[in-house]
């Protein structure tokens, strides 16, 4: 998977990578030329006392060193541009893929894991590409060139290279092989730390309300210690690796001096060639050592690439139509025809044979006990899920055949858990309609009974909103979400228990202002409180995913025992009548 991901996302940066290879080639040639020049100075300058020759060769050495430095700088710059560009494209691709996921895929991966894959995992690949351009490209060139230049200086010591290089390579591979499972555990445990940290930050009020700070500290400590344990295991292997590399390099140097000294003493090898040979051997082993450093990054990057590939290769179960249907005159007629829905791996369907019609200009309410499938039901219309049986139609067309953007534009949902984005009141309200004027925003706020507290804010529409809307109360957050849906002006409004955070008086005023303002649209309301839906044109009563009652309030009181029980538990007999 690592090769696949890198090949796919580095393709647009082939020019930069080609420049890196060429520049590293010139830098390596210059680096390999230096020991030969040094040997020339020793044998033909120092040994003969020829100062002019020393200066002449020294100038060539200076030019070679300068050229090497310039080529290395340019190679690093091109490598960095390729690595950072690839990282940007990967993050963008992951983000777009996650945005196409249905709720099912998001739940499968989990938000903390998706965040880690988009940030930390991509960073691992960026670092691998960058270090590969800086080190890995030049290492084989240095190794091959170094061997050629070393043999050029003296063939008699070539057996030292034949022993040292394989020994070093095998030692490194044995250590790296043990790192792979540890790096896989490390990324999984980073997910766990992110998940716990996110839960604790999001639920800080609950933690404090139940005085569970110590419990959460211990819970985080367990996950943190588990990550630390894996990190220490990787560290021990890396600590073991570098002494092995240094020991082999030092032993090889001693061997060159020992056996090369005898050859110099026998007159089979000049002194300058001995120093040059030793330099080449060190360069060869250094290239292996530097490649080793990059090799330690490969296992973790491979794990990261697998995790990134899982996301990129996962296709949403909500598939856009190949030839989307566009409606010419949308009205908002909603029809559910024998709809069934089953969650993946579930033993039984959540919804069974649900059939009803919600007409434009009417209010359709859905009520039932907790877990009866109310939220799942209304999530089928905007295709947060796709029905596993039956048909959901909008204006006579199966929602699976409609253009996704058109469907999103015509169906506005106010979720059970209201969410606001960081920004301002205005930016949140314009989320569904960027062209809305300030007058449109204030009108929507008045309908949602939110204009009073917004005017009370210091900057009004430009008042800042924190991520998640944590700087406003639950009721205010709910009313802003309702106003956001009103600004969008869709043909279908879905309110998923959106009035539960409001007091009864505010709830009544909001519904009284809402109905005439959207009288031509279809409104489907999921509610727990009977008082919220008592005036609905059609009430659907769900029990364990089945429709057990269908009608108006007065009809259901006498015809549907389940509805009568719900009413009795909330209202007195006089109020119910």
Q: What is the pLDDT of residues 174-219, one digit of tens each?
A: 877 787 778 778 877 887 888 888 777 777 778 777 778 888 888 8
Give the tokens for residue 34: 């230096």
Name the 3-class secondary structure at 355: strand
Q: What is the pLDDT of residues 269-328, one digit of tens each?
A: 677 777 777 777 777 777 777 777 777 777 778 888 888 888 888 887 777 787 888 877
Average pLDDT of the chain, as a whole number:
83
d(CA 438, CA 441): 5
Task: Report residues of the chain scoring pLDDT below 50.
Answer: 573-574
Angle at 53 between CA 51 and CA 57, to 5 degrees: 120
Looking at residue 329, what DSSP letter applies?
Answer: S
Give the pLDDT confidence score for residue 378 in this predicted structure: 87
Contacts 24+ apart (CB under 8 A), 251-257: 251/164, 252/160, 252/164, 252/281, 252/282, 252/285, 253/278, 253/281, 253/282, 255/160, 255/164, 256/157, 256/160, 256/281
Looking at residue 315, what DSSP letter applies?
Answer: P
d(CA 95, CA 515): 38
């Amino acid at each position: 998977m690592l090769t696949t991901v890198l090949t796919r996302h580095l393709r647009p940066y082939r020019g930069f990578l080609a420049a890196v290879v060429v520049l590293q080639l010139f830098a390596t040639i210059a680096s390999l030329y230096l020991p030969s020049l040094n040997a020339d100075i020793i044998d033909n300058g120092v040994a003969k006392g020829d100062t002019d020759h020393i200066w002449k060769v020294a100038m060539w050495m200076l030019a070679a060193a300068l050229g090497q430095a310039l080529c290395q700088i340019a190679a690093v710059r091109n490598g960095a541009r390729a690595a950072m560009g690839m990282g940007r494209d990967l993050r963008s691709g992951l983000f777009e893929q996650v945005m196409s996921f249905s709720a099912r895929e998001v739940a499968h991966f989990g938000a903390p894991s998706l965040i880690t894959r988009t940030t930390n995992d991509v960073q691992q690949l960026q670092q691998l590409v960058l270090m590969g351009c800086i080190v890995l490209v030049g290492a084989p060139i240095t190794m091959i060139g170094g061997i050629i230049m070393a043999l050029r200086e003296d063939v008699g010591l070539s057996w030292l290279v034949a022993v040292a290089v394989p020994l070093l390579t095998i030692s490194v591979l044995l250590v790296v092989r043990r790192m792979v499972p540890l790096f896989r555990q490390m990324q999984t445990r980073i997910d766990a730390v992110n998940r716990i940290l996110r839960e604790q930050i999001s639920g800080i009020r609950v933690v404090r309300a139940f005085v569970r700070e110590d419990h959460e500290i211990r819970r985080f400590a367990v996950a943190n210690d588990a990550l630390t344990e894996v990190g220490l295991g990787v560290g021990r292997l890396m600590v073991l690796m570098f002494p092995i590399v240094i020991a082999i390099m030092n032993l090889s140097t001693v061997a060159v001096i020992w056996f090369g000294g005898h050859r110099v003493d026998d007159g089979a090898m000049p002194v300058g060639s001995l120093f040059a040979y030793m330099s080449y051997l060190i360069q060869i082993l250094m290239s292996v050592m530097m490649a080793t450093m990059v090799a330690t990054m490969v296992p973790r990057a491979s794990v990261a690439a697998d995790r990134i590939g899982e996301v990129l290769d996962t296709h949403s179960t909500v598939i856009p139509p190949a030839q989307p249907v566009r409606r010419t005159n949308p009205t908002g007629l909603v029809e559910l025809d024998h709809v069934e829905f089953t969650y993946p791996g579930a033993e039984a369907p959540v919804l069974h044979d649900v059939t009803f019609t919600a007409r434009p200009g009417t209010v359709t309410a859905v009520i039932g006990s907790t877990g009866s499938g109310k939220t799942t039901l209304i999530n089928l219309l905007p295709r947060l899920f796709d029905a596993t049986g039956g048909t959901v139609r909008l204006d006579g067309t199966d929602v699976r055949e409609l253009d996704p953007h058109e469907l999103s534009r015509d169906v506005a949902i106010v979720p059970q858990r209201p969410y606001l984005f960081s920004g301002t009141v205005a930016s949140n309200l314009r989320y569904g309609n960027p062209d809305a004027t300030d007058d449109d925003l204030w009108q929507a706020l008045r309908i949602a009974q939110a204009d009073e507290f917004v005017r009370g804010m210091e900057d009004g529409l430009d008042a800042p909103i924190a991520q998640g809307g944590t700087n406003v109360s639950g009721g205010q957050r709910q009313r802003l979400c309702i106003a956001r849906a009103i600004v969008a002006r869709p043909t279908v409004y879905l309110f998923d228990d959106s009035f539960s955070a409001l007091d009864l008086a505010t709830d009544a005023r909001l519904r009284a202002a809402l109905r005439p303002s959207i009288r031509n649209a279809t409104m489907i309301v999921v509610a727990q409180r009977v008082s919220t839906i008592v005036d609905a044109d059609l009430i659907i009563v769900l029990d364990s995913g089945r429709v057990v009652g269908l009608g108006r309030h007065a009809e259901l009181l006498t015809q549907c025992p389940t509805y009568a029980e719900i009413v009795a538990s909330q209202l007195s007999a006089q109020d119910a009548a």
